[in-house]
């Protein structure tokens, strides 16, 4: 069976084999700390076993609910921010027809998102679209108190109640939240919404394989069993008993840290398929929020090639030499299209006629790798045979496991996000939220000084 593979040939000569294997003992310790739950953040390790522990009853409910909703609605609105929406969006966008919003024969509901920004124009324009469509809402918030999704939900709840009547909304609103705590839990219980639980020991950015990701992905019409199967395979390929050399997660975590210690402080996740754009957004959320702490951490960035070879490519080739690239390469695309011959050949492309577009894309990838490595940018290549549910499941679990190991190697807790509170405190103070009176006074003076 083919699986995700990692190619590290092009991290040399920036780091040596000895520098990579130098992490072997540490990785052994950290992987045991994860599995024995003895490391920092050990109350947030539920994601480690998720692919094999997600409950059969949850899966059955998800299957039934998604089959019903797919018959009933034209649009699904997923409300959430950070880890509460980015995993679902990553998978749905990777698997969807690029122009699905324009396809007439589309049977799946179109998935739209809300609560991931505070733009008045965004939400107004969303309401404009929803006015003429049948829709359901999944509202996701582990804490149940996050401002952005709470505002979006208040607006959409009102809209839906006015549109179809309060009694009908119960079947069209699904709340995914904490088992017991939080405003969303209370609201869902009072209003009788359908609910699913985010396990206590799974943080937002590690939650894509819980109902947080699985339910929207299933409603969008994709095979969540295959997604979980892929993740399960990766769970065993990155398990505690797999050797350092054979475990792609330990190798990736070790190489990232070795490069970081050589001054390569920015990692760019590269794709050659625009379908992976939002997968990179998920990856940035996972790595940025997990590792950027205590004045440490690799800055996660992303580009879509070849598009960004005509913009960021210049910087990557010749700018400050503090970056490395991790390329997600899809071996075989899902469709086949060849470049036609042309009798005039005025565009001088006949030397490529008969070739698949993907062959040109692969040569762009190879040519770019050689150029960037020559220019001082180390390259890690992660290859998947094709872009489907199974290999997305592998990618997700691989990146999650490597992120945890890499965070431990950096010496930080990869499962908390204390820095996210700073902007919230200021925003609440500026808005005059009850309980923030002291902060309001202080920040008013700051604003006057500005
Ligand atoms: O990874 C995380 O924990 C965060 O990105 C959260 O998912 C995000 O802040 C949203 O939080 P909540 O689900 O509590 O609304």
In the chain, where are the structural domains located? 5-39+228-410, 50-222
Among 78-82, 117-121, 164-168, the least confident range: 164-168
Atom in ligand 1 nearest the alpha carbon of residue 84: 7
Which neighbouring-strand residues pair with 439? none
Task: List the structure tokens of 325.
Answer: 């690239």
**CATH 3.40.50.720, applies to 5-39+228-410:** no
What are 60-102's pLDDT values in tens digits?
999 999 999 999 999 999 999 999 999 999 999 999 999 988 8
* Mean pLDDT for the stretch of residues 3-20: 97
Query: Side by side, which strands form the sheet with 323-330?
Result: 5-10, 379-384, 323-330, 266-271, 299-304
pLDDT reported for residue 319: 97
Cα separation values, 140 from 53, 84, 227, 427, 449, Å:
21, 6, 20, 22, 38
Task: Tell me if 84 CB under 6 Å of ligand 1.
Answer: yes
Pocket test for ligand 1, best of 140, 143, 200 (most atoms within 8 A of CB): 143
Atom in ligand 1 nearest the alpha carbon of residue 81: 10
Q: What is the CATH number of domain 50-222?
A: 3.40.50.10490
Task: Tell me if 280 CB under 6 Å of ligand 1.
Answer: no
Task: Tell me if 83 CB under 6 Å of ligand 1.
Answer: yes
Task: Tell me if 143 CB under 6 Å of ligand 1.
Answer: yes
> What is the rounded average pLDDT for all residues in the chain?
95
Q: Whose CA is nearest to atom 9 of ligand 1?
A: 82
Atom in ligand 1 nearest the alpha carbon of residue 285: 5
Whether 5-39+228-410 shares its CATH topology with 50-222 is answered yes
pLDDT above 70 (res 312):
yes
Tell me which residue of 12, 398, 421, 30 sits closest to 233, measured CA to CA.
398
Task: List the structure tokens of 348.
Answer: 């001088």
């Amino acid at each position: 069976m083919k699986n995700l593979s990692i190619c590290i040939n092009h991290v040399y000569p920036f780091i040596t084999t000895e520098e990579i294997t130098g992490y072997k003992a540490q990785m052994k310790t950290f992987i045991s700390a994860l599995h024995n739950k003895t490391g920092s953040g050990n109350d947030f390790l539920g994601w480690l076993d998720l692919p094999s522990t997600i409950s059969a009853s949850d899966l059955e409910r998800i299957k039934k609910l998604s089959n019903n909703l797919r018959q009933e609605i034209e649009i699904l609105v997923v409300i959430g921010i950070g880890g509460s929406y980015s995993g679902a969006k990553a998978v749905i966008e990777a698997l969807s027809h690029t122009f699905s919003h324009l396809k007439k024969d589309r049977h799946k509901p179109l998935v739209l998102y809300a609560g991931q920004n505070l733009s008045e124009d965004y939400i107004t324009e969303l309401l404009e679209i929803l006015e003429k469509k049948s829709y359901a809402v999944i509202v996701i918030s582990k804490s149940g108190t996050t401002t952005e999704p709470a505002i979006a939900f208040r607006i959409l709840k009102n809209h839906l109640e006015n549109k179809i009547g309060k009694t009908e909304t119960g079947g069209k609103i699904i709340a995914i939240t904490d088992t017991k705590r939080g405003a969303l839990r209370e609201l869902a219980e009072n209003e009788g919404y359908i609910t699913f639980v985010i396990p206590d020991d799974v943080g937002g950015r590690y939650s894509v394989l819980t109902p947080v990701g699985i339910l929207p992905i299933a409603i969008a019409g994709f095979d969540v069993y295959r997604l979980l199967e892929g993740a399960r395979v990766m769970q065993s390929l990155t398990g505690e008993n797999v050797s350092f050399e054979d475990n792609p997660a330990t190798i990736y975590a070790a190489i990232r840290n070795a490069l970081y210690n050589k001054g390569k402080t920015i990692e760019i996740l590269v794709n050659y398929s625009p379908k992976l754009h939002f997968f990179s957004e998920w990856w940035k959320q996972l790595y940025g929020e997990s590792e950027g702490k205590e004045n440490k951490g690799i800055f996660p960035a992303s580009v879509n090639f070849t598009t960004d070879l005509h913009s960021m490519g210049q910087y990557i080739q010749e700018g400050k030499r503090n970056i490395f690239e991790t390329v997600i390469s899809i071996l075989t695309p899902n469709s086949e299209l060849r470049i036609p011959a042309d009798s005039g050949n005025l565009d001088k492309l006949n030397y490529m006629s008969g070739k698949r577009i993907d062959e040109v894309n692969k040569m762009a990838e190879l040519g770019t790798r050689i150029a960037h490595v020559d220019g001082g940018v180390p390259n890690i290549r992660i290859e998947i045979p094709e872009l489907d549910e199974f290999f997305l499941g592998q990618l997700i679990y691989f990146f999650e496991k490597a992120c945890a190991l890499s965070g431990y190697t950096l010496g930080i807790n990869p499962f908390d996000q204390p820095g996210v509170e700073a902007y919230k405190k200021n925003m609440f103070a500026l808005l005059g939220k009850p309980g923030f009176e002291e902060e309001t006074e202080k920040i008013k003076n700051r604003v006057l000084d500005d």
